[in-house]
Structure 1
Amino acid sequence: MTQDLTAFIAGLPKAELHLHIEGSLEPEQMFEFAQRNGVTLPFDSVEAIRAAYAFSNLQDFLDIYYAGAGVLLTKADFHDLAMAYFRRLAADGGRHAEIFFDPQAHTDRGVPFSVVADGLLSAMDEAEKTLGVTSKLILCFLRHLDEDAAFETLKQAEPYLDRIAGVGLDSSEVGHPPSKFARVFKAAADKGLKIVAHAGEEGPPEYVWEALDLLAVDRIDHGNRALEDEALTKRLVVEGKTLTVCPLSNLKLCVVGDLTDHPMKRMLDLGLKATVNSDDPAYFGGYLNDNWLAVAKATNLTRDDLITLAKNSFTGSFLSKDQIAEHMAAIDAYAAAN
């Protein structure tokens, strides 16, 4: 990849559609929050935490992810966590983000839903005012828990549904198919919420079919393994379903053995509506532009590919048509000037 494309990516207006806010918890923040909240960590240094980030699969990652979330106890913690992310996003040319949060990871520890939501929403307001970055909030159900727990979380969210854009499904994928949560997703859709779900990362293509047919998703999070099924791939193209792909996450969790094997270029060539995202950037080695740069270099993405990815990130968002049109015009203007 030429230096010109590196610079082009740096300034390209873009949105992030697959970001777990708890996954932006840097080791330094973990220590800071633990100290101010009196939480004892099983690590004696920042370096020890970083050393623990040697995952071999999704479950290894989740084990430390949930341990790290234990330092988040107050509205200020969630606010500060989110603002740190938004500052990094703005530095990467990010104009908009649709962030996931895992309320069950906190309410199960005795942290009220309101503490989590109020902290995140206050940061979202501040980011828009001070950084010009807009955002939407997506509540994720933890799929390793049961559907009754998901229904309880949806009930707890009711006072905030005017400020929550959608619901998603994350955590351990294998053995927890989308069909397990069909009723609660219908209930959420009936309340006017957008629907997304992690599918086809470690789970099989059948999980992507279920997400489409049983959950009626508006977009698919990850979706890599959909490429194993030609009929499924064609359907995703015809329906224009956005895939929120996370290159460095795929590498770190061994979904791909090497980034040169990443399917991003193939996805674009097939007409799939792929986007680039950072997933859990503190754990997976890079924020938004790190992912753009790494996958562009490894898979030889062209300038036109980059423009397509940027446009997909907005047309796949839950922004209004007018807002999307403004961002598309900004991308065209940037491309013309660069």
Structure 2
Amino acid sequence: MLPVAELHLHLEGTIESDLLVTLARRNDIALPTYDPVELTARYDHFADLQSFLDIHYANLTVLRTEQDFYDLASGYLARAAAAGVRRAEMFCDPQTHLGHGVPLAAVFDGFSAAIADAESATGISADLIVCFLRDLGGDAAEELIRAALPFRDRFIGVGLDSTEIGYPPRLFETAYSIAASEGLHRVAHAGEEAGPDYVWEALDVLGVERIDHGNRALEDPVLVQRLVDEQIPLTTCPLSNVYLKVVDDLADHPLPRMLELGLRATVSSDDPAYFGGGVDDNFAALRNDLGMSETDLATLARNSFEAAFVDDTTRAGWISELEG
């Protein structure tokens, strides 16, 4: 099992069906069924990103209290540590929970306590990246970053997720400018559904340091050369791309081509409760189904550490472990 950093992980997308049922009963929230097997069975037939998001956001109504967020993050971090994850930079979507009447303090306190306890128990290093929901627009993103700043010590960066097409990065320039002024890291989903122009905007307008997904960047040779020259990481999610029909089959995934081109590609699980498992399952699929070599897999793992938002000494320690 390779040591890795997981850099594209939505905490809300780690909610396993048994925990979903537990939280629904705890908070008296109705579910279509309380059978975890039946709940999980619904995840096999996503037609596209939006069909997944419809189920995903409906499930998140069960998250109501600080304890709920603690339980959610604790479950993921325990599974991740067991799967070889040394570093987790985890997305969270506070706007979703604010819309359910949950105060920001409950979100940040629950997640932060889980991170501290997991580090103590397993040694895993983890931090939060606060994401803006694209479909809520730029004004809402600006409102969120200002509301989140009193919790500035609880997160290291901002991101951009949810429905991509129709919500170009430029709509969020002000929110990202505020984040930059606070010294926060900046990443964004781009090039999963929309084309290379969204990747260009994320780089040039938002000033992002990583591109989340980035598959369609390969359609633009000039963009590819820039990503190679500047070694801007792409946080790819192979099993997610299959489940959401971004690619028809894992054999069609552009990841091998990314490595051939010299792109700093990494591998993560995206929303593991919905998309076939954790980062270790993604690596196993790349090895067993896509036929990637152990050398390429080690390169992907090294890239993940190179792309992580950590100090050079910590990074070097993980790379030494990988190469040992």
Say if 2:287 is the partner of 1:296.
yes
The structural deviation recorded for 1:182 is 1.1
**Which letter maps to 1:170?**
D
Say if 2:198 is the partner of 1:183.
no
Say if 2:39 is the partner of 1:52.
no
Specify every segment of 5 or more residues in structure 2 that has no aligned partner in the other structure, as ranges: none
The structural deviation recorded for 1:44 is 4.1
8 A contact 1:262–1:295 mirrored in 2: no
How many residues are treated as equivalent by the alignment? Answer: 323
Secondary structure (helix, strand or coil) at the match of 2:235 reads: strand
Measured on the aligned residues, the alpha-carbon RMSD in Å equals 0.9
Deviations 1:293-317 (Å, cap 9, x if unpaired)? Answer: 1123333211211111111111100
Say if 2:306 is the partner of 1:315.
yes
What's 1:200 paired with? 191
Secondary structure (helix, strand or coil) at the match of 2:90 reads: strand
- Return 292-301 or 315-324, whichever deviates more: 292-301
What's 2:73 paired with? 82
8 A contact 1:264–1:299 mirrored in 2: no
Deviations 1:261-285 (Å, cap 9, x if unpaired)? Answer: 1111111111000001000000111
The structural deviation recorded for 1:82 is 0.6
**Which letter maps to 2:174?**
R
The structural deviation recorded for 1:103 is 0.1
What's 1:7 paired with? none
Secondary structure (helix, strand or coil) at the match of 2:274 reads: helix
Deviations 1:149-188 (Å, cap 9, x if unpaired)? Answer: 1111111211211221100000000111101111111111
The separation in 2 between residues aligned to 1:310 and 1:213, in whole angstroms, is: 27
The separation in 2 between residues aligned to 1:47 and 1:93, in whole angstroms, is: 27
What's 2:91 paired with? 100
**Which letter maps to 1:141?**
F
The separation in 1 between residues aligned to 2:242 and 2:5, in whole angstroms, is: 21
The structural deviation recorded for 1:72 is 0.4
2:151 to 160, 185, 188: 160
**Which letter maps to 2:41?**
A
What's 1:336 paired with? none
Say if 2:272 is the partner of 1:281.
yes
8 A contact 2:287–2:294 mirrored in 1: no
The structural deviation recorded for 1:43 is 2.5
Task: Give the TM-score of the pair, scaled to structure 2.
Answer: 0.98
Say if 2:256 is the partner of 1:256.
no
8 A contact 2:108–2:154 mirrored in 1: no
Secondary structure (helix, strand or coil) at the match of 2:154 reads: coil
Specify every segment of 5 or more residues in structure 1 that has no aligned partner in the other structure, as ranges: 1-9, 334-338
Superposed, which structure 2 residues align to 1:142-157 within 5 Å? 142-157=133-148
The separation in 1 between residues aligned to 2:254 and 2:137, in whole angstroms, is: 32
Say if 2:235 is the partner of 1:271.
no
The structural deviation recorded for 1:148 is 1.3
8 A contact 1:249–1:279 mirrored in 2: yes
The separation in 1 between residues aligned to 2:27 and 2:279, in whole angstroms, is: 30
Say if 2:11 is the partner of 1:18.
no
